[in-house]
Amino acid sequence: MSKIAVITKNFPRHFDFIVSLMETGYLKCAAMVIDEDNTSSIIDKLNQYYINSEHKFFGNKFNNISRIKTLTFNENNINSEKLPDFINSTGADLTIIYDVNNINNNTLSLIKSDIWKLTFGYTQYYKGYYCNIHAALNNKAQSICSSLIEFKDNSYNGRIIHQTPANYRQEDTITDAEYRSLRKMIFDMEKIIELYNNNAVKYYENSGGRFYNYDDLKENDIEKLIQEKDFLVKNTCDNESINFIKQL
């Protein structure tokens, strides 16, 4: 893989995602879908809360992305030939779609590169958070990996204590500290690139293996889950982590 294109929105987290991709040296272009709810003067309290919390973490949402080709879209022209023409003009190997759900299949079919849809979600699980990274290859839904993250004393540092394939996702409200730790983990572009280069989705499509979900972590075979090694996943589980999970 040598070139990445990204299709995303204009919230602070989306700009941060673009900047994270830029730092890898692979990103060639960004298509920004302007979210009307984000720019409207009449915005509900929930959206305002999310925007404010993101500003605390990411700072000014208008990060410097002038080094790459950028084109803006809205809901009225996202499904025109303009989008695939823009993406294809860069010769991208991989197009990452982050938080944009209204691109129809006809438009997606005109994009020549592989396509991954990324959705970052989280759900509270006892003392930690069970975080999922979902992706799709060529618009086929497939879950790639998830992590159980431990947070201590509302610090900004979280550590991954369990990581495994999963397909469970449920959003929940988290504190600013947990938000920071979560974002640091999910914006690990090296991990995303590693998954792509290792043909992650194809591996799980053909493996016939079991997908773990939220309830699996409540079973008694925790040690078995932790001991399972996979070439896609870098486990950081030590004896302390195993004992921590047993106490949940």
Q: What is the pLDDT along the chain (248 residues), one digit of tens a residue?
A: 578 899 988 776 677 678 777 877 888 999 988 765 544 444 454 445 445 544 544 444 445 666 788 888 887 788 989 999 999 999 998 888 877 878 888 888 898 887 776 654 433 333 333 343 333 333 333 333 344 444 443 333 334 333 333 332 233 333 444 444 444 444 555 555 555 555 443 333 333 333 333 333 333 333 443 343 332 233 333 344 344 434 43
Kind plus residue range of the DSSP H or E element containing 48: helix 45-58
Domains of the chain: 1-112 (3.40.50), 118-248 (no CATH)
Task: Assign 196 to helix, strand or coil.
Answer: helix
The pairing of beta strand 27-33 with beta strand 4-8: parallel
Alpha carbons 176 and 181: distance in angstroms, whole number:
9
Q: Is the pTM of this model over 0.75?
A: no
For position 189, what pLDDT does the model report? 54
| C-alpha pair distances (Å), 13 with each of 19, 149, 157 | 10, 20, 19
For position 132, what pLDDT does the model report? 38
Q: What is the DSSP string of 1-29?
A: ---EEEEE-SSHHHHHHHHHHHHHT-EEE
For position 190, what pLDDT does the model report? 55
